[in-house]
Amino acid sequence: MKQLEEYVKSIPDFPEKGIIFRDVTSVLQDADGLHLAVDTMQDLVKDLEYDVVAGPESRGFIFGTPIAYNNHKPFVLIRKSGKLPRETIQKEYALEYGTAVIEMHKDSIQPGQKVLIVDDLIATGGTTKAMIELVEELGGQVVGIVVLIELKGLKGRDLLKGYRLDAAIQYEGK
C-alpha cells in the first residue's frame, strides 16, 4: 500500500517560480488516496472529544464531512461571504495580497460546544485563525484542528499557539 505522501503531487514553480505547489486533487482522484487521507486525519484526533466538526469551503467540506459522518457528528459549513442564506457572523482576515471574509450561520454553534476544525492545508494560518474566532464568537470551544497538509515553512502553527494542530503530512518548505 502506498504512503499518503505518495498521493500528493508536487508541482514546481506554481503559481510562481520557487514555489512547490502541493496538489491535493491527486489525493481526491484516487479512491485509495482519499480513503487513506480521511482515515489518517480521523486517527490523528481519535482521542479528542468534540460535538461538532467545522470546515471551510471547499476542501474542508471534502475532508470534514466524512469525519463528521463516521463519528455521527454534525458538520458546520464555513463559507466565503454571501454564500449562506440565513443570519451569519463574519470574520475578515489577511491574505498575501489583500483580505477575504468568511462566515458561518449564527445558529451553527451553540455555547459550550466542542468543535473540531478540519481543512486540507495550513499555510500562514490566517484562515484557520479566522475560523477559530468565528467559533469562539458563538461561544464554542475549538478543541482541535486537523489538516491533511502543513507547510511548516510558512509558520501557520505559530499563529495558532494554544490550539492543538495535527497534520497528516508536514512539508518543511513553503
Instruction: Report the candidate in 36, 103, 41, 37 with the shortest Cα–Cα distance to residue 76.
Output: 103
DSSP-derived secondary structure letter, 65: H
Exactly one of 22, 59, 79, 150 is catalytic; which is it? 59
d(C-alpha 43, C-alpha 89), whole Å: 31
CB distance 124 to 159 below 8 Å = yes
Exactly one of 16, 49, 87, 96 is catalytic; which is it? 96
Q: Residue holding cell 467545522?
A: 54
Q: Residue holding cell 489538516?
A: 147
Query: Is residue 96 flagged as an active site residue?
Result: yes
Query: Is residue 16 flagged as an active site residue?
Result: no
Catalytic sites, residue numbers = 59, 96
